[in-house]
Structure 1
Amino acid sequence: MMNITVNQSDCPEVEVPYPVFFTIGVVSLVENLLVVVAVIRNRNLHSPMYCFICSLAAFNTIASLTKTWENLMIVFADIGQLEKTGSSETQLDDVMDSLLCMSFMGSILSFLAIAVDRYITIFHALRYHNIMTMKRTGAVLGVIWVTCGALAMLMIKFFDYHFIKIYFIVFFSVSLTIICFLYVYMFMLARIHARKIASLPNGGALTLTILFGSFLVCWAPFFLHLIIIMVCPMNPYCECYRSLFQLHVVLLMSHAIIDPAIYAFRSAELRHTFRKMFLCRVAYIHTWVSTV
Structure 2
Amino acid sequence: MNDTSRHQTTMKYMEYHPLPIYSTQNTTPNISMPEYNATECATILIPQELFLTLGLVSLVENILVVLAIIKNRNLHSPMYYFICCLAVSDMLVSVSNVVETMFMLLHDNGLLMMMPNMMKNLDNVIDIMICSSVVSSLSFLSTIAADRYITIFYALRYHSIMTTQRAVCIIVVVWLASVTASTFFIFYYTNNAVIICLVTFFFITLVFTAVLYMHMFILAHVHSRRIMAFHKSRRQAMSMKGAITLTILLGVFIICWAPFFLHLILILTCPQNPHCKCFFSHFNLFLILIICNSLIDPLIYAYRSQELRKTLKELVLCSWCFVM
Query: Normalising by structure 1, what TM-score?
Result: 0.93
Within the candidate set 273, 286, 307, 1:269 is matched to 307
Q: Specify which structure has the higher proportion of helix.
A: 1
Within the candidate set 295, 303, 306, 1:257 is matched to 295
Deviation of the 1:185 alpha carbon: 1.1
Residue matched to 1:201: 238
Structure 2 letter corresponding to 1:2: M
Structure 2 letter corresponding to 1:8: E
Query: Is 1:148 matched up with 2:178?
Result: yes
Deviation of the 1:92 alpha carbon: 1.4
Structure 2 CA distance for partners of 1:7 and 1:78, relative to 1, 3 Å: farther
Residue matched to 2:153: 123
- Measure, in 1, the Cα distance between the counterparts of 2:103 and 2:321: 38
Spell out, residue by residue over 1:206-254, the C-alpha distance to the aligned partner (whole angstroms, 9 max, x if none): 2111111101100001110111111100000111111111101100110
1:118/1:200 contact within 8 Å kept: no
Spell out, residue by residue over 1:44-73, the C-alpha distance to the aligned partner (whole angstroms, 9 max, x if none): 000000000000001111110011111222
Residue matched to 1:8: 35
Deviation of the 1:93 alpha carbon: 0.7
Q: 3-state SS of the aligned residue for 2:42?
A: coil
Residue matched to 1:221: 259
2:64/2:315 contact within 8 Å kept: no
Within the candidate set 196, 203, 217, 1:173 is matched to 203
1:225/1:245 contact within 8 Å kept: no
Deviation of the 1:200 alpha carbon: 4.8
Structure 1 letter corresponding to 2:193: F
Structure 1 letter corresponding to 2:35: Q
Structure 2 letter corresponding to 1:201: M
Structure 2 letter corresponding to 1:93: D
Deviation of the 1:7 alpha carbon: 4.9
Deviation of the 1:276 alpha carbon: 2.1
Deviation of the 1:109 alpha carbon: 0.5
- Measure, in 2, the Cα distance between the counterparts of 1:277 and 1:158: 43
Gaps of 5+ in 2: 1-9, 16-32
Percent identical across equivalent pairs?
42
Q: Which moved more, 1:169-178 or 1:189-198?
A: 189-198
Query: Is 1:244 matched up with 2:282?
Result: yes
Within the candidate set 215, 221, 234, 1:191 is matched to 221
Spell out, residue by residue over 1:96-152, the C-alpha distance to the aligned partner (whole angstroms, 9 max, x if none): 100110011011101011000000000000000000000000000000111101111
Residue matched to 2:113: 82
Q: Which moved more, 1:223-232 or 1:36-45?
A: 223-232
Q: 3-state SS of the aligned residue for 2:35?
A: coil
- Measure, in 2, the Cα distance between the counterparts of 1:138 and 1:213: 26
Query: Normalising by structure 2, what TM-score?
Result: 0.84
- Measure, in 1, the Cα distance between the counterparts of 2:246 and 2:34: 37
Structure 2 CA distance for partners of 1:67 and 1:266, relative to 1, 3 Å: same
- Measure, in 1, the Cα distance between the counterparts of 2:249 and 2:322: 34
- Measure, in 1, the Cα distance between the counterparts of 2:319 and 2:125: 35
Q: Which moved more, 1:143-152 or 1:272-281?
A: 272-281
1:102/1:152 contact within 8 Å kept: yes
Residue matched to 2:65: 35
- Measure, in 2, the Cα distance between the counterparts of 1:62 and 1:2: 13
Residue matched to 1:289: none
Query: Is 1:135 matched up with 2:165?
Result: yes
1:38/1:270 contact within 8 Å kept: yes
Query: Is 1:59 matched up with 2:89?
Result: yes
Structure 1 letter corresponding to 2:149: Y
Q: Which moved more, 1:52-61 or 1:10-19?
A: 10-19
Deviation of the 1:271 alpha carbon: 1.1
Gaps of 5+ in 1: 287-292
CA RMSD, 1 decimal: 1.6
